[in-house]
Amino acid sequence: MAVKKRFESIGQKIEERHTERKESLNNVLERSQKNRQQRRRAVLDALKISDGKGKQSESEEKESDDEADEVKNKRSEQEILVQLSSKYGEVCHEKDNDMKEFVLGQGAGGAVILVKRSTDGHMFAVKKFKKQNMNETAYDYKKKLNHEYEISAALFHPNVIHTYDLLKSTDEKFFAIVMDYCPYDFFALVMSGLLTRKETYCYFKQILKGVSFLHHNGFAHRDLKLDNCVITKDGILKLIDYGSVAIFDPVSVRKLQSRAKILETATNDEELHDIAVKQQKEEENGTESEASYSIIKATGVAGSDPYLAPECLKMASYDPRAADIWSVAIIYCCIILHRFPWKLARGSDIAYSAFIAAPSEKIDAKGKKHVYGPNRLLRAIPSKSRNVIRNMLALDPKKRYTIDDCLNDSFVDETSECSVIWNDVEKKYVVKLGEGHKHHLISRREVEKTLEEKKKLKKEKSWRFQKMMIVPKMKIQRKNLRDLS
């Protein structure tokens, strides 16, 4: 027994010594590791000092540079806001947040904000830009923005948005284009499902009139789509966004720009009207532009996929006017169908390949009829508009309707559209409403709210239907169980 106790005490002592040695070894390792880290830091610090840096690591320097750029950008943006306030009015803010700007829209290039003039309550939409593309030089960026401004500032027409100014920060990091504000988004109106047929025809003709003004003055828009149309409180549609414009007749453009400079001197509607009438008479007495005989063709893809004409997707040059006509036809189809006819005008797209196929009808194994050729699309739109849309969607651009052909088509000609006319009695421009219709105007936020409510209601109906189906099923199961018993 005594021997056993002795062995146990010896074993315990050995274990204690082993634990002590292990702890001391760990302490030595920790101290050596700390010493190594301290020596390493000292070497790095010495290298930084000898290298002339002695400030921060690369990541810290990068963070510091980013912070400095952010401060500069905020300063430039603030400078633009000060210019806006002094020249046009105060920037509008969110109702529930006085510090947050009221943003009308957000894009890759920047945001569109709202400015209100205190003297008369006139509203301006201000498109703020900042340099985004790293591959784009500062010179190219400024040139692009100046080009867009010079074009849009020269456009005086009821169906084209008017642009007032291009503001720049001192360091030219921030730019802003000041335009008239239109409260209603055309895309949202179409998605609301409220548009009647006569409203649709009215808007279609207004788009054509806006495009006619551009084409007769040497421009093609090249990015016509639902998103680039806005509506005034009186139902007047205006085309916006001239970043993709193609000039096919420089002579006509120069004439337009010189006329626009004179129009800008007008201080009221009466002066503006007198200058416009005088210019129109001079134009009628002058020589016709050579644009109809020789034009500068466009190259490259500009616009959104579903609206692009097939020739735009090829590598060759094309007539930008014909591409605009195609896009307007797609807009009309979107309004009527509430969807795009196809995703892209290319043979790989099933819907488009069916449209360009030889006219035929096939019945599948299930007895369903499939229509091929142009009638596949045309049968889905109102019969009175089929002729103009068929010719606007002609695959050969040379055979496609021109803007004058579109306006002279019997369907378009007979359409009563809302327009802006001169009132000799009141001595100002007034809106003349089209016959047989009134406009359903609803904001994007209201549309989003309505669509959300519809979605919720649909979900509830689906749940109720499922519940109705479950109860009878349970009753049948119970009955079957009773029968078995």
Q: Where are the alpha helices (DSSP H) in 88-196?
A: 138-153, 186-192
Structure-token match 């003055």, residue found: 217
Structure-token match 């007895």, residue found: 367
Q: Directed axis angle between helix 320-337 and helix 197-215, to 10°?
A: 170
Task: Report the 10 Å Cβ neighbour count for 69.
Answer: 11
Annotated binding site for ATP: 128
Structure tokens at 440: 């359903």
Ramachandran angles phi, psi of 122, nearest 5°: -65, 135
CA distance linking residue 303 with residue 311, whole number of Å: 13
CB 385 within 8 A of CB 349: no
- State the catalytic residue, choosing from 223, 241, 249, 409: 223
Q: Which stretch of DSSP H or E encloses residue 422?
A: strand 419-423
Task: Return the ∠ at Cα 286 (arms to 283 and 288), rounded to 5°.
Answer: 90
Name the nearest CA neighbour of 206 among 233, 241, 230: 230
Q: Which stretch of DSSP H or E encloses residue 204?
A: helix 197-215
* Residues 147-171 as b or e (16 or more Cβ within 10 Å = b): ebbebbbbbbbbbbbebbbbbbbee
CA distance linking residue 449 with residue 464, whole number of Å: 23
Structure tokens at 166: 């291009």
| Strands 219-220 and 184-185, sheet pairing | unpaired
CA distance linking residue 413 with residue 432, whole number of Å: 17
CB 145 within 8 A of CB 166: yes
Q: Directed axis angle between helix 250-263 and helix 269-285, to 10°?
A: 150
Ramachandran angles phi, psi of 174, nearest 5°: -125, 140
| Length of the chain as a residue count | 485
SS3 content of the chain, % helix, strand, coil (to 5): 55, 15, 30
Phi-psi region of 438 (alpha: psi -120 to 50; beta: other; left: phi over 0): beta
Catalytic site residue 223?
Answer: yes
CB 311 within 8 A of CB 275: no
Sign of the C-alpha dihedral computed for residues 149, 154, 156 and 160 taken in this order:
negative
Q: Which residues are catalytic?
A: 223
